[in-house]
């Protein structure tokens, strides 16, 4: 005798099709959610890299500023000896300049004033 295959009724076949459709829709939603998470992770990594680069830039700027301050600390006693003073206004602008790499020794020289002329500076 040949094996008897169970017969599937129309209602059972319809249920199987509905179940397959539900599973397929669920898998599609999972795939879309996974793609969304991957995009968010990629953006997060990009933002993290940007923040890391900015932190490095700030650290370099701080190191440069520390070098400038050390240089000023060495120069100020010599300036007092020769009768030159450093305008505190100019020092502040010099240190907080956004383009520290553009400051030249000539510009530094122009910030020096003979002690006799310091009295004539008007405060803004």
Give a yes or no: residue 6 inside a domain: no
CB count, 10 Å around CB of 120?
7
Give a yes or no: residue 5 inside a domain: no
Give a yes or no: residue 1 inside a domain: no
Residue 4, pLDDT score: 57
Instruction: Domain count for the chain, please give it.
Output: 1
Residue 11, pLDDT score: 79
In DSSP terms, which residues pair with 112 in a beta bridge? Answer: 86
From first to last of its 124 residues, the chain has per-residue pLDDT tens of 556 565 667 778 888 888 999 999 999 999 998 988 888 888 888 888 888 888 888 888 888 888 887 777 777 666 555 555 544 444 444 444 455 444 444 444 444 455 555 555 554 4
Owning domain of residue 94: 11-118
With CA atoms as reference, report the closest residue to 119 among 93, 87, 97, 96: 87
Give a yes or no: residue 124 inside a domain: no
109 close to 82: Cβ distance less than 8 angstroms: no
Report residue 58 as tokens: 């700030």
Give a yes or no: residue 3 inside a domain: no
Give a yes or no: residue 15 inside a domain: yes
Give a yes or no: residue 4 inside a domain: no
Query: Phi/psi at 9 (nearest 5 deg)?
Result: -80, 165
């Amino acid at each position: 005798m040949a094996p008897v295959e169970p017969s599937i009724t129309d209602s059972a076949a319809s249920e199987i099709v509905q179940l397959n459709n539900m599973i397929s829709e669920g898998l599609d939603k999972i795939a879309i959610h996974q793609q969304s998470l991957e995009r968010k992770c990629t953006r997060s990594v990009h933002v993290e890299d940007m923040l890391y680069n900015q932190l490095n830039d700030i650290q370099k700027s701080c190191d440069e500023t520390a070098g400038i301050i050390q240089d000023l600390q060495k120069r100020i006693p010599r300036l007092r000896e020769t009768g030159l003073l450093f305008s505190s206004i100019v020092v502040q602008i010099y240190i907080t300049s956004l383009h520290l790499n553009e400051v030249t020794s000539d510009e530094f020289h122009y910030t020096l004033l003979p002690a006799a002329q310091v009295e004539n500076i008007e405060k803004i």
